[in-house]
Chains A and B, each alone.
Chain A
């Protein structure tokens, strides 16, 4: 029988991680689909029995989402309007069975270019908290997920929590997903955004992220700069292709590169319109 460890204390998990190689397992919704034709001989570290890894808590600094918080936990939580995009993404993950088991930490650590949670979190300036026996460290999500299935996690680190800073939680949030069918669908493109409004109602800060159009989802910084000072209702008029120059979409059976670029612009325009309506 292969080793299977299900520690109840984070410290035990971290010390295990510091010795030997473990396959970390959370909700299993990415883990098992990768093991259909053969189940390899591997030692599994199941992180779902560690209470402090699960749950959502609010403080003056913002919101902390434990790594093993499920999509259903998020859907059922009462969150500020800025998190509407995150909640919308949660509702569109797979089907209810997947939402009941899949975790936000798993979504991030699996680092699929089509991970629906990541653009929404990027649009909330999310920070990730990692832990190892040597201690905790926090870094921006945008620096953590660096490519297709690539993260900056060290071999002995676990993702503990995601932090949403209070500063990004003031305005409205939105998320739009494009897929070739309704349920259980991998995104062709998705866009998430939040807005902060100035006293005069113009855009003080926009945070727009696009997923599935590059190896890792990206913030559209050129666009965000261009939007500052505009009225939300005018924002969707101000898009141009240059704002999306950072994207490098690929062709796969779901769509070709030209389509992805085109759809990213369309979805962004619509996302801005949603945000304007909510503002």
Chain B
């Protein structure tokens, strides 16, 4: 077989049925082409075959014989300069995590070869077969439409002007030319290939058969590991006292997809070799506990010995007297809402490799939390933490899903026990079945308001399905009651939560930790309350909005950076415009009704009332270059770029002087996990402090004052104060092991106070605020909803990089839209990306972002977080718009067409009675 790839002729002798994606990645080493599903569903593997876009995972090698293939590696100019389409992606911030980018670029290339000035619709049609979970697609569309302008790259900001600049992602080029290495892009040639035997049942006892005999007779199998092979503790879990999940189950399983054994193959099977379905295990399935109602039933089986009644944990915030205030309120609106399991659906499945080096083990994995991985591996191997090194690969999307253990523990155990390098990759159905989900919720709430439209009281109870294991369940149970009142002044609140064990997949961390679910309930009640008192929905929210100096339901007085009112004020003209547009559209009769909705939110940045430190180091080398030792993992949101921007300005150095050592637990300090929208706020502050520390050292060296200017040159730092210039000859200083002659260190732990039994205390040091509005069209005969446009106003304190902030908002809206309209994970039924639907290009509204900067005094340059806040108000705004269009209060998400149609019909039937 002969194929020409990126101009190079290759002769191959592989199986004719081998996927072209594997030929490219494994036989030719071209790992720029990504694989997210092997089923045509994600488009990450898109390449050009004789000039046409195809999914490389669906092309048998034999059909590529004689063809000309172009992959992402073939796009750049001969001298490595990025091509016009790559540069457009770069300047528009169209790549976040970058895992979909090669596919996007190839599809765009196909389009642009035919149409140099495409319309939005043409871009959507041409790229519609590639999924992106990060960007919400808008910046990709903008980039493709702007390729022909061939505009220059954004200039690097001047010294001192980095914060606030639209700096193109500093780690961006590798995501565009295919060189970035993700979890599955690199592994030693002699690595064993691991597969996991998983339970097909949600609740079952099992017995292993003659595993050794099976291993001996199965072709390609090097070893099998079971629970008894685990060197240390066969348990893991987020909370030190709650490690309730086994690495490998011992005799029974609590969810479909639970791991029971590791099979190590000599090499990655090409196919036909041993089917792990023949692994000897006998299952005795039991009736599974499905849903929290079943979990809470008196006769339900107890799933964990320590949790009678299957309640993992409860949360509570109480202030004032909600019952009394509801009894005396002029209007009380009550409601009941349900949400289901939601899958993270990052396009990069869990993957990585590990090896034993001497008495240490080293992992390279796709992760949001290298330090927690290190500690968990140490626990499972029975080693000191210093004997574990975790080096994160590039991360192809996380959203909370890569805050939990997946490949890390099997890799570590196998590398340690077998003393061989080992690698693994979850296939898509495995990724979906085995890993954590967003907590399903069942929320009942009552909101009381007086006749004048002032909120009086909320009583709220949320039951969350934490699935088979605790994971981040306690975080959700703790965060929800604090956030349940929404960003409003509410004197009387009782908000409670319970996380309940079931035989569902473990629910873990997912962008928002339960707050998106809670916001759906509260905001739906807010809309109805506004109607009751005859106020416009935006106006009603504005009147009740938290403002600086207000006290929250936890008794915390928020003194500064409370930008909700500013968000709403800025939305007003857009809101009026949307309402007009809807009224005009609805004057025409017909099945399509237009509606407008609004959602507000607040979100505490960082852990809930728990220590949450970050440490950053900034080194200065003898050659005058700066190295940021940055442990704040970039999962696409841009910490790599943000931290450098902050450091540059705090130090007074140009951005392009800074290189980074990233994420490696041996070389960076612990910056904490990339979660809870904390990195910009917490690690950003630590970075600022590290830079200020280094700056202070340089100034001290020359007895210069605070305002002195620093000029970094080769081997020298000039300290300039007026016409006084002092040079620091860096070669005269002694370098440390990292090669740095001076090191600044910064550490920041946001000040919080523990919550008492009534949830009183200071759970977070700062809160982000936001409001979003949506205009939707509902086809009332089919129950379909199209979100046409949205405006998102976000108080981010300070937009360190507005392009990255907008990217987070667009991506958050995409996930919020998915939550509202289409995403529902059903174990065993939607374990792939064609039955589990996430938004595509054609499902996204046109989004306008309004960035409000009400500075947070504690944050770096006033900044707080945006990662999760972006998603929280979206579903409420869409649901409010559906109600505005149809009158239906949706009691459940996702609002699938058949559900909405049924609700519309029953509403019509009621009206007819």
Contacts and interface: CB of A to CB of B under 8 A. Distances in A.
- Same complex: yes
Contacts of A35: 38, 271
Contact of A181 (B58, B126, B269, B837): B837
A267 B591 CA distance: 12
A97 B38 CA distance: 13
A173 to B, nearest CB: 21
A140 B898 CA distance: 33
A4 B824 contact: no
B830 A253 contact: yes
Given A32-B38, A39-B272, A182-B128, A44 B16 contact: yes
Interface string A18-36: 0000000101110111011
Interface stretch (A164-172, A206-214, A216-224, A254-262): A254-262
B305 interface: no
Contacts of A55: none
B23 interface: no
Contact of B843 (A181, A253, A254): A181
A133 interface: no
Given A6-B62, A97-B40, A184-B41, A255 B110 contact: no
A72 interface: yes
B495 interface: no
Interface in B834-859: 834-835, 837, 839-843
B826 interface: yes
Interface string B45-71: 010000011110111101100000000
Contacts of A182: 124, 128, 840-843
B55 A101 contact: yes
A78 interface: no
Contacts of A32: 19, 38-40, 57-58
A178 interface: yes
B16 A46 contact: yes
Contacts of B581: none
B782 A263 contact: yes
B840 A181 contact: yes
Contact of A253 (B38, B46, B275, B835): B835
B30 to A, nearest CB: 18
Interface stretch (B427-435, B567-575, B721-729): B427-435
Given A1-B15, A32-B58, A40 B271 contact: yes
A181 B40 contact: no
Contacts of B783: 259
A258 B829 CA distance: 20
Range, interface on chain A: 35 or more
Range, interface on chain B: 35 or more
B157 to A, nearest CB: 38
A255 to B, nearest CB: 4
A167 to B, nearest CB: 33
Most-contacted residue by chain A among B16, B107, B110, B832 (CB, 10 A): B16
B902 interface: yes
Contact of A100 (B53, B821, B901, B902): B53
Given A95-B129, A183-B842, A253 B826 contact: yes
Given A37-B430, A186-B834, A266 B52 contact: no
B83 interface: no
A96 interface: yes
Nearest to B841: A183
A188 interface: yes
Nearest to A32: B58
A166 B184 CA distance: 54
Contacts of A184: 41, 128-129, 131, 834, 840
A98 interface: yes
A4 B39 CA distance: 21
A38 B54 CA distance: 22
Most-contacted residue by chain A among B55, B107, B270, B896 (CB, 10 A): B55
Contacts of A4: 15-17, 60, 62
A147 to B, nearest CB: 21
Contacts of A241: none
A278 to B, nearest CB: 20
A46 B60 contact: yes
Given A96-B53, A181-B839, A255 B129 contact: no
A85 B297 CA distance: 53
Interface of B: 15-17, 19, 37-41, 43, 46, 52-55, 57-60, 62-63, 107, 110, 124-126, 128-131, 269-272, 275-277, 427-430, 781-784, 821-822, 824, 826, 829-830, 832, 834-835, 837, 839-843, 896-898, 901-902
27 contacts: A6-B16, A27-B58, A32-B38, A32-B39, A37-B430, A38-B277, A39-B17, A48-B63, A95-B129, A95-B130, A96-B53, A97-B40, A98-B129, A180-B821, A180-B897, A181-B822, A181-B837, A181-B840, A184-B129, A188-B897, A252-B829, A253-B826, A254-B898, A255-B898, A259-B902, A263-B782, A267-B782
Given A38-B271, A255-B897, A263-B897, 17 more contacts: A2-B271, A4-B16, A6-B63, A29-B58, A32-B39, A33-B58, A36-B38, A36-B428, A72-B52, A96-B128, A101-B58, A182-B841, A183-B841, A184-B131, A253-B826, A253-B835, A263-B901
